[in-house]
Amino acid sequence: MVRKPAPYLYILPALALFVGIILLPAAGTFVLSFFNWSGIGRDIEFVGLENYRAAFRDGSYFVLSLRNNIVYLVATFIVEMCFGLAMALVLDFKLRFFGVFRMLFFSPMVLSMMPVGLLWRFVYSPEIGILNGALKAIGLGSLARPWLGDPATALYAVCLTSGWRYAGFYMILFYAGLQRIPKQLYESARIDGASDLGCFRHVSLPLLREVFVICVLLCATGAFQAFDLIYAMTGGKPYHSTEVVATWLVEVAFAHNRFGHGSALAVMMTVIVFVIALTYHFYARRRETIEY
Amino acid sequence: MSTNWHIPPERRRLARPAQRPVLARNIFLYTIVIAVSALMFFPMVWTFYSSLKTNPEIYANAWALPELPRFDNFAEAWRVGHLGRYVWNSIVCTSTSVLAIVAVASLAAFAFSRLMFRGRDLLFAMFLLGLIIPVQIVLIPLYSAMAQAGLQNTRTSVILPYIAWGLPLSIYILRAFFLTLPSELEDAARIDGCSTFGVFSRILLPLVKPGLATVTIFSSLSIWNEVLLAFVFLKDDSVKTLPLGLYAFYSYHITDLSLLFAALTVVTVPMIALFLIFQRQLIEGLTVGSLKG
Amino acid sequence: MNRRIAVGASRAVHFMPALALVAFTACGGRGEHDATGEPSRIVLVMAHSTTGDPEKAELDRTVAEFEALHPDIAIKQNAIETNIYETIGLKSLFSGGTPPDVYSQWGKYLVGQYQEAGYAADLTDELEKDSWKDRFDPSVWTSATYKGRIYLIPTSIDLTSVIWYNKKIFEQNGLEPPTTWTEFMTICDTLKNNGIVPVCFGNRPLWPAANWAAHLISRVAGEQLYDDVLSMKPGTRFANDAFIKGLGMIEAMARSGYFNPGLNGVSDMEAIMLFFQGRAAIHPIGGWIINHAKKAAPEGFEYDAFKMPAIEDGAGDQTSILRLASGYMVYRDTRYFDEAVEFLRYLTSVDVAKRFVSRCGTFSSVQSAITEETADPHLLTLVSMHRSAHTVVTAPDVGYDRAKVLPFMDAVSLVIGGQKSAREALEQCDRAVAALR
């Protein structure tokens, strides 16, 4: 069979890079979480678990940011999955010019967060935004509100934008998954009298399981890393209603000069997400293979 | 047990039911497609036509079409933002990183999916960590390490982190693609006397072209638009990347929107081009799925 | 014992990743790297947050001139966008072991912080030479001094919360700039009844409203109490009567609907758009609006400023102005102290300062730089406002420890957004601050 050292050689470059650039600095962060440090100067003070305890006291928005993160995760998941899958299915019909449409569907992914945040801020803007403008134009002016200024709607507005932006990514994954399904299965389903919807439910959906598993995992981990877009759109405001863990820890570590506390938050967040991801990964693996 | 995935056109048409429902369905689909396309594409359209306006025009009405299109905004943005130099740096950083990611990740993904060795699952789980650890918090130890290694202010100092951070997702995706390939392929090749590396490079790798294309596109996009590491690690004009150039349009609390939009248009065009190119690879790779025997 | 653990740990933090990276340096492609090894030319590294035109162009020109006058000195600029500079950028330069020789900085609190960290060179004696000190507006030194020594060369005076108003709207509604708070409220009422947003803020970054509120509060509570509370002097609390009264005035304004809706989700760019489009009449923002208006305001847009109206029975100086100063500091352990100082002298020479005033609209702290010829009329308005103020109030967002001031800024945003009463908000602020102490 295969000689012992060979497999390790294959993963060596990846491992070396990963350990050197991510793991070791992360270990540094872990160590730092037990100290108080303002980020400058050499005044470092050991404080044990104090940084961890401080996350749950008044003035800390860690718990709120966790809650917001979970809402963000669920909301963006729904938007991204549904939208991404729908677009992939539509593309699968191979209408004319579908290559053009595929590019158009994917185009939000090409933009960096700056223009996306900028644009959507204008869309949601209370006085000069097109969302309120459109609502007023069709007589639903009473629904017009400061979407990003009202703590009740701000988070959902951001989730919608995030979902809009990343749907293209999931569309690609679903689309690739759909191409993997042998055409004969659709044929036999149609010969058995299945409609379009039937084909979708009984052929496409089950065979996309593998892709779903990936998508859920990516969505979940990505949701906790979410920073750029939220920072560009609301910066966690108003009143921390759109504060997620990543924005809060950056604020704490760099704007408040509490690097040790920020490190502790990062460690906690990493642990939480890691547990979730690991659980999900092993649960999904057990139900992985589909024979056909 | 062979699977023939390639169906000749004649047989495909036979599988379709009668004509009229198809027409209605197609109209319905086209409407949706056009609506969705508009929804997805309008930011780019907006960025583009906004870049043809002057600042007073934009500030007066953010949505109006330009009165007199000003194409010299692009040249102006190019000049003010030093975009020429930054474009080159971005190209170097992105292409180097992406090539490295594809190479390193495909090797690792192959090992994780097809080879058995001790600690395989554990090591793979460890790479998942890379999806979770936020860049921001590792920034200062990483920066200090780069400085001590003498790499400060070089393109290498960002390329290495880009590769490292691109690996987890790429390995995950490629591994998933490798897993969908039947093991019979490998057995057949080995019977013919192929080495492990041969199996990898000559048999399996070509079959995961869609996966490679996917990884290329996603990595390119995130690296091309990356701002934080670039800002902290790249200080010389000679090594700065394109996103940094955009900040030339932000002076203290004032944003020169017309030039900013012009620069954004310039920045996005290469990425669209890249996607268009790799779109084809995606299709081509997908039709090469046949197996003999 | 603690210190040794700390030092050891910090060394480990820096050492471990470097060890790992040594393996890659051999195969890494090197880009350009700075010429610090060259003995024949001194390279001065200057870090700052001026990335945009016209200031950047002017700075580049000044640097080039200086290099021409001093062929043995080269200046390498490291321009990092403001937000990133203030949060991560500058810090990582120091903690990463690549400290700049000269760096831009805000006055007051940060000067002290960087001095305590060991990054600030004492410039007091240098300023005494050749009457360098006399060039500057004498009131700036309070922002540049820490424990009696000067560490900052203040190049500009920053008025970050000036009450600008739309002249045409005022004329059309028969209004005059107010001198007292009651007059101000009447104006707001008139504007609101005529369908114009009286006062607009883009309070997403929190400081626009917080700075304005801070000034108002200092007028009500007196500058000493304001300073004591913001500096977290023991025994002080935010929820004291004077603060509650001051913030309560803003609460009243919010209740009367005098602010633009959803202002806590509005960015400063959108707020300025509202102002330029004539949808809002009054916009308290900093002096940079002068440049902004030149670039982006519609034809014939006329605006002017009025001072914070006098508060009846306010304990503070009713002529006071909210102000920050900013400038450059020199790294304490720089190898090129004399060269750095030489450059700063050049940067603050009258001719160079005049150019910054005329081309960039900078409110230079070099006194003779602002004249009728060099300065935009709006800048002259600001200068006279500054001169007529007997007291200077420091803005909370940069002038004090930001971590401790954030709860206050949160409180202001809650009140101005109509979410909480002044008393509730300030009490919540106290709880948060107590947890941080």
Q: Express each pLDDT in C228-248 by its tens digit.
A: 999 888 888 999 999 999 999
pLDDT for residue C32 is more than 50: no
Of A59, A121, A151, the CB nearest to C432: A59
pLDDT > 70 fraction of chain A, expressed in percent and rounded: 95
Question: Among partner residues C113, C204, C406, which is closest to A234 by beta-carbon distance?
Answer: C204
Q: How far apart are CA B128 and CA B172, in angstroms?
A: 8
Residue with the bigger pLDDT between B276 and B27: it is B27
B276–A164 C-beta distance less than 8 A:
no
Question: What are the pLDDT digits (tens) for C317-329?
Answer: 899 999 999 999 9
So what's the pLDDT on residue C177? 94
Name the residue of chain A whose CA is nearest to C12's CA. Answer: A28
Q: Which residue of A has its CA nearest to B7?
A: A183
Provide the residue ranges of all domains of chain C, joining segments of one domain with +: 18-157+325-383, 162-285+401-436
C18-157+325-383 maps to CATH 3.30.230.10 = no
User: pLDDT band for position C104 (50/70/90)?
Assistant: very high
**pTM: predicted TM-score of the whole model, two decimal places:** 0.84
A–B interface: beta-carbon pairs under 8 A: 238
Average pLDDT, chain C: 86
pLDDT tier, B292 (very low <50, low <70, confident <90, very high otherwise): very low
What is the nearest CA distance from C173 to chain B, expressed in angstroms?
22
Determine how β-strand C197-199 pairs with β-strand C280-285. parallel
Q: Looking at beta carbons, which residues of chain C come within 8 Å of B146?
A: 21, 96
For an interface test with C, give the residue of B86, B251, B256, B257 to mutate (most C CBs within 10 A).
Answer: B251
What interface predicted TM-score (ipTM) does this complex get? 0.82
List of chain C residues whose C-beta atoms are within 8 Å of the C-beta of residue A57: 435
For residue C356, pLDDT beyond 70: yes
Residue C431 near residue A59, CB atoms below 8 Å:
yes
Backbone angles phi, psi at A27, to 5 degrees: -60, -40
For residue C192, the model assigns a pLDDT of: 94
pLDDT of C305 higher than 70: yes
The pLDDT value given to residue B289: 36
Please give, rounded to a whole number of angstroms, the shortest distance from the CA of B236 to a CA of chain A: 22
Copy the structure tokens of residue B183: 């093991």
**C252-284: pLDDT as tens digits:** 999 999 999 989 988 888 999 999 999 999 999
Mutate which: C116, C196, C266, vs A, most A CBs within 10 A? C266
Residues in a beta bridge with C102: C46, C330
Based on C-alpha coordinates, what's the Rg of chain B?
24
C435/A57 touch (CB, cutoff 8 Å), yes or no? yes
Of the listed ranges A75-79, A81-85, B41-45, B253-257, the least confidently predicted one is: B253-257
pLDDT band at C65 (very low <50, low <70, confident <90, very high): very high
CATH number for region C162-285+401-436 = 3.40.190.10
| Tokens representing residue A175 in the block | 């689309």
The rounded percent of chain A whose pLDDT value lies above 90 is 12
Q: Is residue B4 pLDDT above 70, yes or no?
A: no
Pair of tokens at residue C334: 């720089």
The yes-or-no verdict on residue C375 having pLDDT over 90 is: no
Per-residue model confidence as pLDDT tens digits over B218-270: 888 889 888 878 877 887 778 888 887 777 777 666 788 888 888 888 878 77
The neighbours of chain B, by the rule of 3 or more Cβ pairs under 8 Å, are A, C
Task: Tell me the chain A residues in contact with residue B116 when contact means C-beta distances shorter than 8 Å.
Answer: 2, 7
Expressed in angstroms, the distance from the first to the final Cα of chain B is 8
Number of other residues whose CB lies within 10 A of the CB of residue A134: 12
- DSSP states along B179-191: HTS-HHHHHHHHH
pLDDT for C4 equals 42
To the nearest whole angstrom, how far is the Cα of C35 from the nearest Cα of chain B? Answer: 11
pLDDT digits (tens, 9 = 90+) for A238-262: 888 999 888 888 888 877 878 888 8
pLDDT of residue B282: 56
Contact A110 B145 (CB under 8 A): no
Taking only the tens place, the pLDDT of each residue in B23-48 is 787 888 888 888 888 888 888 888 88
Which pLDDT score, from 0 to 100, does residue C39 have?
53
C162-166 and C197-199 strand pairing:
unpaired
What sign does the dihedral C178-C180-C184-C190 (CA atoms) show?
negative
pLDDT band at C12 (very low <50, low <70, confident <90, very high): very low
pLDDT of C220 higher than 90 = yes
- Taking an 8 Å cut-off on Cβ atoms, the answer to whether A237 and C265 are in contact is yes
A39: pLDDT strictly greater than 60:
yes
pLDDT for position C277: 92
What is residue C2's predicted lDDT score, i.e. its pLDDT? 42
Asked if pLDDT for residue C40 goes beyond 90, the answer is: no
CB contact, 8 Å: A196 with chain B?
yes
Is the confidence at residue A288, as pLDDT, over 60?
Answer: no
pLDDT at C344: 94
Closest alpha carbon within chain A to C277:
A128
Rounded distance between C-alpha atoms, residue C214 and residue C408, angstroms? 9
For residue B38, the chain A residue with the least C-alpha distance is: A104
Q: Which chain B residues are closer than 8 Å to A106 by Cβ?
A: 40, 275
Q: Between chains, do B59 and C33 touch, taking CB under 8 Å as contact?
A: no
List all chains that touch chain C, counting a touch as 3 or more CB pairs closer than 8 Å.
A, B
Least confident of A198-212, B110-124, C360-374: A198-212
pLDDT digits (tens, 9 = 90+) for B66-91: 888 888 888 888 888 788 888 889 99
**Preceding amide of B66 cis, omega within 30:** no
Per residue, the 3-state secondary structure of chain A, as one string, reads CCCCHHHHHHHHHHHHHHHHHHHHHHHHHHHHCCEECCCCCCCCEECCCHHHHHCCCCCCCHHHHHHHHHHHHHHHHHHHHHHHHHHHHHHHCCCCCHHHHHHHHHHHHHCCHHHHHHHHHHHHCCCCCHHHHHHHHCCCHHHCCCCCCCCCCHHHHHHHHHHHHHHHHHHHHHHHHHHCCCHHHHHHHHHCCCCHHHHHHHHHHHHCHHHHHHHHHHHHHHHHHCCHHHHHHCCCCCCCCCCCHHHHHHHHHHHCCCHHHHHHHHHHHHHHHHHHHHHHHHHHHHCCCCCC
Q: Which residue of B has its CA nearest to C23?
A: B149
- What are the chain A neighbours of C82 within 8 Å (beta carbons)? none
Residue C97 has pLDDT above 80, yes or no: no
Cβ distance A146 to C262 less than 8 Å, yes or no, reads yes
Rounded-to-integer distance, Cα B216 and Cα C70, Å: 49
Whether the per-residue pLDDT at B163 is higher than 60: the answer is yes
- How many CB atoms lie under 10 A from the CB of residue C295? 18
Vertex B277 angle, CA B274 and B282, to 5°: 115
According to the model, what pLDDT value does residue B287 have?
40
| Sequence-separated (6 or more) residues with CB below 8 Å from residue A147 | A124, A126, A129, A131, A132, A153, A154, A157, C262, C265
| Partners of residue C47 in chain A, C-beta under 8 Å | none
Residues of B in contact with C208 (CB under 8 A): none
How far apart CA C389 and CA B130 sit, in angstroms, is 55
Indicate the pLDDT class of residue C341, thresholds 50, 70 and 90.
very high
State mean pLDDT over B137-166. 84
Is C30 touching B (CB cutoff 8 A)?
yes
Q: What is the mean pLDDT of residues B172-197?
A: 82
**Chain A residue nearest residue C90, CA to CA:** A40
Backbone angles phi, psi at B52, to 5 degrees: -95, 5
Alpha-carbon distance of C180 to C314, in angstroms, equals 11
Window C:92-131, CB contacts with B under 8 Å: 92, 95-98
Residues with Cβ within 8 Å of residue C131, at least 6 apart in sequence:
none
What Å distances lie between residue A289 and A284, B186, B289, C271, CA to CA? 10, 18, 20, 56
What confidence score (pLDDT) does residue C349 get? Answer: 92
What gap in Å lies between CA C416 and CA C207, rounded to an integer? 12
Q: How far apart are CA A172 and CA B128, in angstroms?
A: 21
Q: What is the pLDDT averaged over residues B193-205?
A: 79
Note the pLDDT tens digit of each residue in C395-423: 998 888 887 898 999 999 999 999 999 99
The answer to whether A30 touches A263, Cβ cutoff 8 Å, is yes
Size of interface B-C (CB pairs under 8 A): 156
Given a cut of 50, is residue C24 above it in pLDDT?
no
Residue type, position C295, single letter:
K
* Architecture label for domain B73-288: Orthogonal Bundle (1.10)
C290 vs A38, higher pLDDT: C290
Q: Please report the residues numbered 209 through 268 in chain A whose beta carbons come closer than 8 angstroms to any beta carbon of chain B.
A: 210-211, 214, 217-218, 221-222, 224-225, 227-228, 246, 249-250, 253-254, 259, 262-263, 266
What's the rounded mean pLDDT across residues B182-189?
82
Nearest to C25 among B56, B150, B238 (CB): B150
Q: Could C20 and A24 be called an inter-chain contact, meaning their C-beta atoms sit closer than 8 Å? A: yes
Domains of chain A: 64-177+208-291 (1.10.3720.10)
